[in-house]
Amino acid sequence: MRRLLLALLPIATILSACTSTDYDLVRTASIPPRFQDTDPQDFGGRTPHHHSIHGIDVSKWNGDIDWMKVKNSGVSFAFIKATEGKDRVDARFQDYWPRARAAGLAYAPYHFYYFCSSADAQADWFIANVPKSAVYLPPVLDVEWNGESKTCRYRPSPETVRFEMKRFMDRLEAHFGKRPIIYTSVDFHRDNLVGAFNDYHFWVRSVAKHPKDIYVDRRWAFWQYTSTGVIPGIQGHTDINAFAGSPKNWKKWVAAVSQ
C-alpha cells in the first residue's frame, strides 16, 4: 500500500499545487530565452521561457557531456535514454546517469517503445538493464510512431496501443514503485491518446506551437519545445524541455518522487 501511495502522491502534488497561472502561463511582457537556440520559434505570448525549470533529454547521439557545465548553465533535470524495444541499450546510458547524479541534476531513464515487441518483453528488458538507483525521477515511456524505422513500422489500433502501454507501465510501476511519465508526439497523441491516461504525467513534444494549441484537453507536466537548443557542456543540438509548474512545485514534486 505504501508503494501505491508513493506512486500516486506526485500526481496529486503537482495537479493540486499548480494554479492556472503555473500551467500554460500567459503574459504579454517580453522574456529573454533561457538558452540559445539555432532555430528559435516564435511562440507568441506563451513562450516556454515563462517557465522557470528547464531540462534536457539526451542519448548516445549527444556524445561526450560535461555534466557540471550543463548543471551550471541552469539545467535542472535530464531525461536519459536507457533502452529501446526488447534488445537495445543506449550505449551512453550507464555513463550518463551516474555523471548526471554526481553533478546534482535530477535524472530519469526513458524507454523507446517498439510495437513489434510485446509489452512484457520490453518491460523485462528495461528492468534488466536499468538499476533502481538510475530511477531518481519516474521512468519515462516514449511512445511515437516509428516512421523511419527499418525494423518496425507497425501501427496497431488505438485500443491495442493503450493496452500495451498500460501493461508496460504497470510492470515498471510495480518494480520501481513510481508511476511512469508518458512522452509523446503530436500525431501519436492525436491517433491514440486523446482523453486517455489522465492520471499520468505527460511530457509532450511541441516545437512550433504552444501545447495548448495542438494537444486537445491535455494537461502536461513537461514540454519539449526545441530540438535545436544550445547547452554549455554539450556539443551540437540538444532537446530542451520546460516543467509546467513553479520552482516551488518542482521542489515538492522531486521530493515526493525521489523517495
Kindly list the catalytic residues: 57, 144
Q: How far apart are CA 145 and CA 190, in angstroms?
A: 11
For residue 32, what are the CA distances in angstroms to 29, 35, 48, 51, 230?
A: 10, 9, 10, 12, 15
Mode of pairing for the β-strands spanning 222-230 and 238-243? antiparallel
* C-beta of residue 87 within 8 angstroms of C-beta of residue 121: no
* C-beta of residue 245 within 8 angstroms of C-beta of residue 253: yes
For residue 95, the one-letter residue type is: D
